[in-house]
Amino acid sequence: MVRQDSVMSVLERFRLDGRVAVVTGASSGLGAGFARALAEAGADVVLGARRTDRLAAVAADVEASGRRVVSVPTDVRRPEACAALAEAALDQLGRLDVLVNNAGVGTAVPALRERPEDFRDVVEVNLLGAFWMAQACARVMEPGSSIVNIASVLGLVKSWAPQAAYAASKAGLIGLTRDLAQQWSGRKGIRVNALAPGYFASEMTDQIPGEMVAQYLAAHAPLARMGEQAELDAALVFLASPASSYITGVTLPVDGGITMH
């Protein structure tokens, strides 16, 4: 039997027309950019975030691309909220093809001063929340669907700042990606991959003095600069679309070369 995506042209394989994508942490930063990129590639988009007041602007951008959009208040720490987000995609847009597990938080505290509640919160959002979302979506996804977990290079290499909770959660997310790919890719036809961004403009990196970031990148990234949203968007669309139909269980660094060190 000839696979439908095998007869597409190269550019057609990057299209997401007729598909529905869920993006968590979509109220700002990378998540908002991902939502806009998926809409530009042709997908209708379901936006999930705790800060619902910020979703209106993102939703307007998606609609301006000619795509349908649904906004749902979502705290990924709650499995029932994750299930409600997946159900909203089905009820209001009729299907669910792509999940972008982007919701994330971070701390930069020396390990001996990290409070238990802060460490737990980072792990609950970044790792447990990603699992609850993947679990809820995989239950209703059809073969050919794609899950993209947003990890970090700090799950692969050492950090120059004290970020034990963040690094541990992202390393765990990379392990989770491999295991879910093993479980679901063959049996359910759902590919599971991860992106590992380096340093991009976001609420997290905005808290770091610019000169410190510049010095670190000059020493550790061959491209010696921060990444741009469009560069990460392109990698996301690749993993979400049929362009990567024979790729599962991988973590793709988009980091200017940091992971070479």
What are the residue numbers of the active site?
166
What is the β-pairing status of strands 69-73 and 44-49? Answer: parallel
Distance CA 243, CA 12 (A): 8
Cβ atoms of 78 and 11 within 8 Å: the answer is no
DSSP helix/strand/coil, 1: coil
Distance CA 61, CA 7 (A): 32
Backbone CA torsion sign across 28, 29, 35, 40: positive
Smallest CA-to-CA distance from 256 within 211, 222, 213 is with 222
126 φ/ψ angles, rounded to the nearest 5 degrees: -75, -35
For the record, the structure tokens of 14 come out as 């990057």
What is the strand order of the sheet 191-197 is part of?
69-73, 44-49, 20-24, 98-101, 146-150, 191-197, 251-254
Distance CA 227, CA 217 (A): 10
Cβ atoms of 148 and 98 within 8 Å: the answer is yes
Backbone CA torsion sign across 194, 200, 201, 205: positive
